[in-house]
Amino acid sequence: MRVDQLGAHLESYIATLPTITALRLCNRFGTGDNCHVNRLPIELVKLIEEHVVEPEREKTLTSWSRQQRCYEGKCGLFDHYSETQEEVYQIYHDLCGCKDDKDCGVEEHFFCGHRKCEGSQCPAWKFKYGSDHAVLEYLCRVDALPEYTEVCSDQQEEWRRKIGTSTVNSDGIFKEQEELLLAHFGIIVWLGRFSIPEDVYSRHRLCSCSPVTTAHLALPGSSTRHEDWCPQETERADFDIPLKIGPLLTAQSLSRFPRALKLLGLQAWQHPSRKAKPALSPPSEGAAVSAADDEAVLQPQLTLLVST
């Protein structure tokens, strides 16, 4: 699974659970003259639930994805701020004193009057040729925005805290919410941590590795062991090996996975560095294929992940 999506959607599920629970109870047991929710069909109730949870998912996923990019070294300049690129340029525009008849975004600043920027001396004058960095440097220098290298470091530490690898907090959200995952979905989550070369096609560049985190849904009783491989003192490759696969698989236990995917709004995913396709159960021979099958959540299949 995409760990940022799983973490963000789990956070959203927890945050909106009281509201959604109250909605369902009012729909089912609500009484009184002013109680109108109990008259709504279940289809409308589900639409209301989606309206409640989707904005929360988008907000939390933005935060999780930004922190993961910083942790894996894939972040860009604007990953370190909640402000958009347009908003950053507007801050710069206001500080430099440019006056224009229209609002000044990224594109508009290229054509602004540069009254105090002195023409081509303005860092935003040639924004398509690396001036984003110059603009942020200036805003950090005048304390209009925090230093982005410090923000990046904070984002990395926040990611470690969320996944449980921080030296301060080693639990992480999936460990903290283990009881909820078991009670509501009957599953657990274990994280896969490994390192890959920055250029996946140049396997000899082991000294230039990026950390990667993935998430896996599993039945209770499953476990993994984390391994560090150090071919040289300055090089290391990490990977996780499944040790136990939990109790004997049954149709009932396997049904927990599509239910969790549906309620949390998840999709099966595999990191691009893994060449094999995600293992999903194929339809049984001779089974009739209906139009609804295209939208059905596929059943997961027992998979053994091996790094060599």
The pLDDT value given to residue 171: 84
How would you write the pLDDT of the chain (308 residues) with one tens digit per residue?
899 999 999 999 999 999 999 988 888 888 877 777 888 888 898 999 999 999 999 999 999 999 999 998 888 888 888 888 778 877 877 777 665 545 555 555 554 544 455 445 566 655 555 677 778 888 888 888 898 889 999 999 999 999 988 877 778 999 999 999 999 999 999 888 777 665 443 333 334 567 888 888 988 887 776 665 554 444 555 566 667 767 777 888 889 999 999 999 998 887 776 654 444 444 444 444 444 444 444 455 566 666 66
The pLDDT value given to residue 290: 46
| pTM reported for the whole predicted model | 0.73
Buried b / exposed e over 52-70, threshold 16 CB at 10 Å, is: ebeebbeebbebbbbbbbb
The pLDDT value given to residue 238: 58
Domain end, chosen from 144, 176, 196, is at 144
Do residue 125 and residue 237 come from a single domain? no
Domain end, chosen from 144, 176, 197, is at 144
Backbone angles phi, psi at 68, to 5 degrees: -65, -40
Range of the domain at 40: 3-78+151-271
User: Is 293 inside any structural domain?
Assistant: no
The span from the CA of 62 to the CA of 5, in Å, is 9
The pLDDT value given to residue 73: 87
The pLDDT value given to residue 269: 83
Measured in Å, how far apart are the chain's first and last C-alpha atoms?
A: 21
Do residue 116 and residue 212 come from a single domain? no
Long-range contacts of 241-245 (CB under 8 A, 24+ apart): 241/305, 241/306, 242/304, 242/305, 245/218, 245/219, 245/221, 245/302
Q: What is the DSSP letter of 82?
A: S
User: Number of folded domains in the chain?
Assistant: 2
Alpha helices, DSSP H, located in the chain: 3-29, 42-71, 85-96, 106-110, 131-141, 148-163, 172-176, 178-185, 251-254, 256-264
Q: Angle formed by the axes of helices 148-163 and 3-29, to 10°?
A: 60
| Strand pairing category for 209-218 and 188-197 | antiparallel
Give Cβ neighbours of residue 122 (< 8 Å, ≥ 6 apart): 96, 98, 114
Looking up tokens 């998979």, which residue turns up? Answer: 303
Do residue 232 and residue 158 come from a single domain? yes
Do residue 116 and residue 262 come from a single domain? no
